[in-house]
Amino acid sequence: MAAVTPAKQARGTVFVRTEVCKGCSYCIDFCPSKCIEFSKDFNAKGYHFPVLTRPEDCSGCDLCGVYCPDFAIFGVRLKDLEKRIQAQRAEDKAA
Partner 1 sequence: MSNESCVADACNIELTPDLAMENPVMPFLRKERIPHIWCPGCGIGTTVNCFVRGLEESGLDLNNVAIVSGIGCTGRVAGYMNLDSFHTTHGRPIPFATGLKLANPKLKVVVYSGDGDLFAIGGNHFFHAARRNMDLMVVCVNNHTYGMTGGQVAPTTPRGATVSTMPFGNFEDSFNLPFIADACGAVYVARWTVYHVKQLARAMKEGLAKKGFVFIEAMAPCPTLYSRRNKLGDGVEQLKYFKEKSVVKHGASTKDVGLTFQGEIVVGKFVDRERQTWLDSMNEHFTGYFGDKYQRYGGNHVKD
Partner 2 sequence: MSKTELRVGGLGGQGVILCGMIIGKAASIYDGKHATLIQAFGPEARGSACSAQVTVSDEPIGYPYVKQPDMLVLMSQDAATQFVPQLKPGGLVLYESELVPKMPPLPAGARALGIPATRFAEELGRRLVLNIVMVGFFAGVSGVLGYESVEKAVLDSVPKGTQDLNLRAFRRGYDFGCELLAKQTQGAS
List interacting residues with ligand SF4 (CB under 6 A). 12, 14, 21-27, 31-33, 35-36, 49-50, 58-64, 67-68, 70, 72-73, 75
Rounded to an integer, what distance in angstroms lies between the CA atom of residue 73 and that of residue 15?
A: 6
Residue 16, Cβ density class (10 Å: 0-12 exposed, 13-18 middle, ≥19 buried): buried
Report the partner that residue 37 touches, choosing among partner 1, ligand SF4, partner 2, none (CB closer than 5 to 8 A by kind): none
Residue closer to partner 2 (CB basis): 28 or 76: 28
DSSP conformation class of 7 = P
Task: Tell me: does residue 71 bind partner 2 (CB under 8 A).
Answer: no
